[in-house]
């Protein structure tokens, strides 16, 4: 395996000490360690991805059942990106823990690392989020108990789990919406003279589900189904390139129904599209018994590369899709590739690596919205805020991290939380209480929860140009009583609204409101901002204690909210 171990060392989490003096360990945490033997490996002496999926699913299931106290089944596994391969003789360490429980389902976070016994080094291989559902008991449907996060990391994952759940529920809609505008993706099906017919890559295999393939609930083990799917997908990919491919990513697994001992599982795979250095293979699992019709169990899309002797991706042959359905799959593969790139660009990168202002379009709206809300949740979850000053029950906190100054303003108001949320969600009304908002207009009303505004603010310096911002405002209602209302703001780029000479174009990395319902009439409001160079001058004198303009602004905000506590929200309209 060619990798620099020093770059991928796993850092242990700091110990969390309870008030009793005991070291805290998450009660749902399950760890599995397996040494990779030749029977687990492929032709290259590397751990089979299918075997790894089985181990991951087993570990996650044990964690889910530890929390639920009853049998659980795999409902879905989010996208997985394999950063490194694992060789024979190395140790696989898998850690799983429940991030959040909903009514009868829960999200389990899984982290996989590799350990080299000779060098005592560890490095990350992949991470995933799986959804498990508690099975009905004789008493009826299970009502899961809530997770109580203790550490900062647990609090962050708990909060983000609600946003990831939202993403899963509309995953299919994202694909449908993107395909409806596929004419804009440039995915025409060209006829290449040297293209490999897709029919040549078709694989069909059948597996009889035997007792060793079943879990402790006498259903086909989800990890086993995923392993069989990976196997036929690998064969399909190898037929295109006449070489042994390496699995890089798997799009979301979604189990549509159960399978049992005695079922025949029919597994089908075909290369949907080949890009320059990667290919997408579609794989489907269906089950039947006797003469009954096929039942759809699962569908997944796997991306493979072929590595040369230097472990670099090779150029792949073109694919000639089959008529009708093949051309549809060809186009869908292009759409999914765009989604993967958007996701990697917007979500997977470290926040410091993402440009402040990301281009917005309908196809990446959901990922930008997710990133917007997640960034605010992560900022709010920080525990090392320092109280800078306090005046008239308005508290100003600061946080210096990674060469960036963040600030938080906190106050309480006797207005119901939902009304506060509705009033602050409409940025057009912010100029009624915030002197820094000179103008505000709606550019695009993307959906009920996402709106793009153009905001104009006064000049920072006397005689200078006024500033304008193109802001995506994403709002979220609480998922349950443990959640706040959220209004997240970040800059985006729109080709219809480029920077102009008359304005300095400012950018916002992360800002917004967290609104907590403390009682039916008392609400805590927290405003956060990662101060970019365009924002910092507005609040630097307050932080330094030389001005109290921010206190005046939030006092004005309180007056605005109290004055409009019974008013109805104004409808938003798009100018485009």
pTM: 0.82
Distance CA 426, CA 413 (A): 18
- Check which CATH number belongs to the domain holding 415 and give it: 3.30.530.20
CB 390 within 8 A of CB 396: yes
The answer to whether 152 and 383 are in contact (CB under 8 A) is: yes
Taking the CA atoms of residue 463, residue 468, residue 469 and residue 473 in that order, the dihedral angle to the nearest 10 degrees is 110
Average pLDDT value for the chain: 86
Report residue 508 as tokens.
Answer: 């916002």
Q: pLDDT of 487-507, one tens digit each?
A: 999 999 999 999 999 898 888
Is residue 576 in some structural domain?
Answer: no
Residue 388 lies in a domain: yes
What average pLDDT does range 321-331 have in this prediction?
A: 89
Query: In terms of domains, do 138 and 270 share one?
Result: no
Among 245, 224, 212, 181, residue whose Cα is nearest residue 46: 245
- Transcribe 336-386 into DSSP letters: HHHHHHHHIIIIIS-GGGS-SSEEP-TTTHHHHHHHHHHHHHHHHT----E
| HSE (side-chain half, CA atoms, 13 Å) at 62 | 13
Q: Residue 208 pLDDT more than 90?
A: yes
568 is a domain residue: no
The verdict on residue 221 lying in a domain is yes
β partners of residue 395: 390, 410
Q: Tell me: the pLDDT tens digits for 211-259?
A: 999 887 778 999 999 999 999 999 999 999 999 999 999 988 889 988 9
Tell me if 179 is assigned to some domain: no
Of 561 and 177, more confident: 561
Encode pLDDT of 102-143 as tens digits: 989 999 999 999 999 888 899 999 999 999 999 877 666 788
Of the listed ranges 221-225, 270-274, 543-547, the one predicted with least confidence: 543-547
**Residue 571: per-residue pLDDT:** 67
Question: Crossing angle of helices 536-543/549-563, nearest 10°?
Answer: 110
**Can you tell me the mean pLDDT for 33-57?**
93
Q: Are residues 128 and 214 in the same domain?
A: no
CB 48 within 8 A of CB 38: no
Residues 384 and 343 in one domain: no
pLDDT for the residue 362: 81
Q: What is the rounded CA–CA span in Å between residue 54 and residue 33?
A: 13
Does one domain contain both 409 and 519?
yes
CA-CA distance, 263 to 104, in Å (whole number)? Answer: 27
Lowest mean pLDDT among 6-10, 102-106, 256-260, 315-319: 6-10
Higher pLDDT, 402 or 565: 565
**Is the pLDDT assigned to residue 555 strictly greater than 60?**
yes
Report yes or no on 277 lying in a domain. yes
The least confident of 84-88, 131-135, 350-354, 413-417 is: 350-354
Look at residue 13 and tell me whether its pLDDT is greater than 90: no
375 lies in the same domain as 434: yes
Report the pLDDT value the prediction gives residue 192, as an integer from 0 to 100.
66
Residues ≥6 apart with Cβ < 8 Å to 23: 15, 16, 17
419 Cβ neighbours under 8 A, 6+ residues apart: 561, 564, 565, 566
Nearest to 508 by CA among 379, 385, 419: 379
Please report the pLDDT score of residue 111 as a whole number.
96
Per-residue pLDDT, averaged over 174-199, amounts to 65
Q: Note the pLDDT of residue 168.
A: 82
For residue 522, tell me if it sits in a domain: yes
Residue bearing the bigger pLDDT, 510 or 576: 510
- Longest Cα–Cα distance of the chain, Å, equals 83
Instruction: Say how far apart CA 236 and CA 428 lie, in whole Å.
Output: 54
- 186 domain-assigned: no
For residue range 377-412, what is the model confidence (pLDDT) as tens digits? Answer: 999 988 889 998 888 888 989 888 777 788 899 999
Cβ atoms of residues 491 and 469 within 8 Å: yes
Last residue of a domain, one of 123, 151, 179: 151
Q: Are 125 and 235 part of one and the same domain? A: no
Q: Are residues 340 and 398 in the same domain?
A: no
- pLDDT value at position 576? 40
Cα separation, 470 vs 505, whole angstroms: 8
Buried b (16+ CB within 10 A) or exposed e, 103-131: ebbbbbbbbbbbbbeeeebbbebbbbbbb
CA 171 to chain centroid, in Å, comes to 11
How confident is the model over 440-478, as pLDDT tens digits? 999 999 989 999 999 998 887 777 788 899 999 999 999
Q: Which residue has the higher pLDDT, 463 or 306?
A: 306
Q: Residue 221: CA atoms inside 13 Å, Cβ hemisphere, count?
A: 23
The answer to whether residues 467 and 375 belong to one domain is yes
Q: Are the C-beta atoms of 201 and 236 separated by less than 8 Å?
A: yes
Q: Find the mean pLDDT for residues 310-315.
A: 91
Query: Is 19 a residue whose pLDDT tops 70?
Result: no
pLDDT at 462: 73
Q: pLDDT band for 563, please (50, 70, 90 cuts).
A: very high
520 and 380 part of one domain: yes
The number of distinct structural domains making up the chain is 3
- Give CA angle at 16 (14, 22), nearest 5°: 130
Strand ordering across the sheet containing 80-81: 80-81, 246-250, 295-305, 279-288, 264-274, 203-208
Quick one: 332 and 381 in the same domain? no
Percent of the chain with pLDDT over 90: 54
Pairwise pLDDT comparison (555 vs 99), residue with the higher score: 99
- Give the domain range for residue 296: 192-348
Classify 388 as helix, strand or coil.
strand
Do residues 394 and 375 lie in contact, with contact meaning Cβ atoms separated by under 8 Å? no
Q: What value does the mean pLDDT take over residues 310-324?
A: 91
| Band (170; pLDDT cuts 50, 70, 90) | confident
pLDDT at 305 over 60: yes
Provide the pLDDT for residue 24. Answer: 83
Written as one string, the DSSP assignment of 112-140 is EEEEETTTTEEEEEEEEEEEEEEPPBTTB
**Residue 572 confidence (pLDDT):** 62
Q: Which DSSP symbol is given to 22?
A: P
Determine the average pLDDT of the residues in 67-87: 92
Residue 250: predicted pLDDT:
93
Q: What pLDDT shows up at residue 575? A: 43
Angle at 170 between CA 169 and CA 175, to 5 degrees: 135
**Mean pLDDT of the region 354-383:** 83
Residue 199's CB is within 10 A of a number of other CB atoms, namely: 11
- Which pLDDT belongs to residue 348? 53
- Rounded to whole angstroms, the Cα distance separating 474 from 492 reads 12
Domain boundary, last residue among 314, 348, 382: 348
CATH of the domain at 131: 3.10.129.10
Instruction: Name 13's Cβ contacts closer than 8 Å, sequence gap at least 6.
Output: 151, 153
Residues 223 and 341 in one domain: yes
Q: Is residue 321 helix, strand or coil?
A: coil
141 lies in the same domain as 217: no
């Amino acid at each position: 395996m060619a990798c620099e171990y020093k770059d991928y060392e796993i850092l242990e989490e700091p110990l969390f000490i309870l008030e009793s003096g005991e070291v805290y360990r998450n009660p749902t945490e399950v760890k599995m360690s397996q040494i990779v033997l030749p029977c687990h490996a492929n032709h290259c002496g590397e751990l089979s991805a299918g075997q790894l999926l089985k181990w991951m699913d087993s570990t996650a299931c044990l964690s889910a059942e530890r929390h639920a106290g009853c049998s659980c089944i795999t409902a879905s596994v989010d996208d997985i990106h394999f950063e490194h391969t694992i060789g024979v003789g190395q140790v696989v360490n898998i850690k799983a823990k429940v991030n959040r429980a909903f009514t009868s389902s829960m999200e389990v976070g899984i982290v996989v690392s590799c350990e080299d016994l000779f060098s005592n080094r560890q490095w990350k291989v992949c991470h995933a989020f799986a959804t498990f559902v508690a099975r009905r008991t004789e008493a009826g449907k299970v009502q899961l108990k809530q997770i109580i996060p203790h550490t900062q990391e647990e609090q962050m994952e708990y909060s983000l789990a609600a946003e990831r759940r939202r993403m899963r529920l509309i995953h299919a809609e994202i694909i449908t919406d993107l395909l409806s505008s596929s004419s804009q993706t440039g995915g025409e099906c060209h006829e290449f003279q040297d293209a490999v017919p897709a029919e040549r890559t078709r694989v069909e295999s059948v597996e009889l589900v035997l007792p060793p393939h079943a879990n402790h609930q006498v259903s086909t083990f989800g990890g086993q189904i995923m392993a069989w799917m990976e196997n036929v997908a690998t064969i399909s990919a190898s037929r295109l390139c006449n070489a042994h491919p390496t699995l890089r990513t798997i799009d979301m697994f979604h189990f549509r129904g159960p399978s049992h001992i005695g079922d025949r599982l029919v597994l089908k795979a075909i290369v949907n599209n080949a890009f320059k250095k990667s290919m997408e293979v579609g794989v489907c699992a269906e089950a039947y018994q006797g003469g009954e019709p096929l039942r759809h169990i699962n569908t997944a899309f796997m991306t493979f590369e072929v590595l040369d002797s230097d472990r670099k991706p090779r150029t792949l042959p073109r694919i000639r899709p089959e008529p009708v359905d093949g051309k549809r799959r060809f186009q869908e593969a292009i759409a999914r590739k765009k989604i993967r790139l958007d996701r990697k660009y917007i979500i997977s990168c470290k926040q410091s690596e993402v440009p402040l202002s990301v281009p917005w379009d309908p196809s990446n709206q959901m990922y930008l919205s997710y990133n917007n809300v997640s960034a605010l949740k992560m900022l709010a979850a920080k525990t090392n805020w320092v109280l800078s000053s306090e005046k008239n029950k308005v508290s100003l906190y600061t946080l210096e991290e990674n060469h960036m100054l963040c600030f938080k303003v906190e106050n309480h108001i006797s207005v119901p939380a939902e009304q506060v949320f509705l009033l602050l969600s409409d940025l057009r009304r912010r100029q009624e209480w915030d002197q820094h908002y000179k103008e505000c207009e709606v550019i695009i009303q993307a959906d009920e929860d996402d709106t793009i505004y153009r905001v104009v603010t006064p000049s920072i310096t006397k005689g200078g140009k006024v500033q304008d911002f193109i802001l995506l405002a994403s709002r979220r209602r609480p998922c349950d009583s443990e959640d706040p209302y959220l209004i997240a703001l970040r800059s985006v780029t729109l080709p219809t609204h480029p920077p102009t000479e008359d304005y300095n174009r400012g950018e916002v990395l992360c800002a917004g409101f967290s609104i907590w319902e403390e009682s039916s009439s008392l609400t805590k409001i927290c405003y956060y901002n990662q101060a970019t160079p365009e924002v910092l001058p507005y609040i630097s004198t307050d932080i330094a204690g030389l001005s109290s303009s921010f206190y005046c602004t939030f006092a004005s905000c309180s007056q605005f909210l109290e004055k409009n506590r019974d008013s109805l929200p104004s409808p938003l309209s798009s100018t485009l």
